Structures are given as structure tokens and as C-alpha cells.
Copies of this chain bind each other. A is one copy, B any other.
Amino acid sequence: MSLRYALLAVLEVDAMSGYDLYKHFESSVGHVWYAPDSQIYPELRKMEHEGLLEGEDVPGGRSGTKRRYHITEAGKEAFAAWMNTPIAYQRERDPVRLHATYMETAEPSAARAQLRAHIGHHSEQIRQWEEIVHQIDSGTSAILNRRLEKTAPEDQERTQAFKRYAYEGLIIRSEAEISWAHRGLRLLDRLYGPETGGMTQGGPSAAS
């Protein structure tokens, strides 16, 4: 249900085609709300039908025409209403914790691999997000700059601050995951003994 608000958020800055939005999602909003093209196109049509957007065929694109959507007053209102409405919390459905709950039934090597993959995944995520935080701080984020151009000067600091704040949240979350996974690796060492039969010596030396 959030896809449409992600789309509205982007379209508040600029009118765009479905393809533009799809590309946009790969680099900006997509970091917090992924959507494939096959979901974006029908959703745009639906939103147009509901009066949140207006589309017009412009002859710009490579192949004849493309459909450019711009946000309507109703669309702006819908977005503002969503922003001022508290989020409804979903009930827990956490595959990682479900898996961990029964780890005694897994092979220790598979459990270790799982936790290492968890660390790897979240480390990579943090790396990406920190890059973006850096771009936000240094004013080198093309997408944010585009948005700031359309923002009243007195609101620019806030716009920037909240973008940064959202990415900080992602980073904090992933850091918590990593520290939990390290704890899990130590637990595995305690319960099954330190890993045996490594291929090479000189693995991670004692570093807390």
C-alpha cells in the first residue's frame, strides 16, 4: 500500500514517465521501497484513474510517445494525509529469527554460514548507505539537489536533515543485525567448540 506514496513523493518534484520512475527507484526511493517496473506501470494507471495523477502522451521518448504523469491536487492531498497518519505496525514475520529459533537442528557449518552471510549482507548495505549519507552531506546527490531546487529556502535544511535521518535508521538497524550475528557466532563456538578443519590458518585473529 506504500508504493503509491513512494510514487507520489517522487512526482511531487517532477512529472515523469513510468520508465523514469522505475529508473529513479533504482537509485533513490528504491533504497527504502523497492518496486519492479511490472508493479509501477499498472499502479500509475490506477492512480490516474483515481485522480491522484494526470498522464499525457508526450512524443519525446525513443519509441514514438511516452506517458508523462504529473501529480494533481488530490494527489498532493493524499500524500500529505499519509504523512500525517501514524504507521500501522504489522505483525511479526521475521524469517531470520524464525531460522535462528531452531538453529540447534541445523548443521553447525550451515548455521555459521548463515550468520556470516547475515554479516556480509548487512555490511554491504551499510557501505552503500554510508556512501549516500556522504553524498547528502557533501551536496553531491543529484536527486536530492533536484528536490532542493524545488524546495523553499527555509525548508531546505529540513529536507536534507530528514533524508539523512532515514538513511541513519537503515544503518543503525543493520549495525544491530551485525552485532547480533557476531554474538551468534560466539554462541556457536561455545556450544560446538571453535570451528574445526579450516583450510588455511591465520583466520580472524582475536579481535573483539
Contacts and interface: CB of A to CB of B under 8 A. Distances in A.
Interface of A: 2, 5-6, 9, 29-34, 79-80, 83-87, 89, 91-107, 110, 113-114, 117-118, 121, 155, 157-159, 161-163, 165-170, 172-173, 175-177, 179-180, 183-184, 187, 191
Contacts of A187: 161-162, 165
A162 to B, nearest CB: 4
B121 A89 contact: yes
Given A165-B103, A184-B165, A110 B84 contact: yes
A91 B34 contact: yes
30 contacts: A2-B95, A6-B98, A9-B101, A9-B102, A29-B101, A32-B94, A32-B98, A33-B94, A33-B95, A33-B98, A83-B105, A83-B110, A85-B110, A86-B117, A87-B117, A89-B121, A97-B167, A97-B169, A98-B166, A100-B166, A103-B158, A104-B155, A161-B187, A161-B191, A165-B183, A165-B184, A169-B180, A172-B176, A173-B173, A175-B176
A92 B31 contact: yes
Given A2-B95, A97-B169, A162-B187, 19 more contacts: A2-B93, A30-B92, A32-B98, A84-B106, A84-B110, A86-B110, A87-B99, A87-B118, A96-B169, A100-B165, A100-B166, A101-B162, A102-B162, A104-B161, A161-B187, A168-B183, A173-B177, A173-B180, A176-B176
A118 to B, nearest CB: 8
Contacts of A95: 2, 33, 87
A169 B100 contact: yes
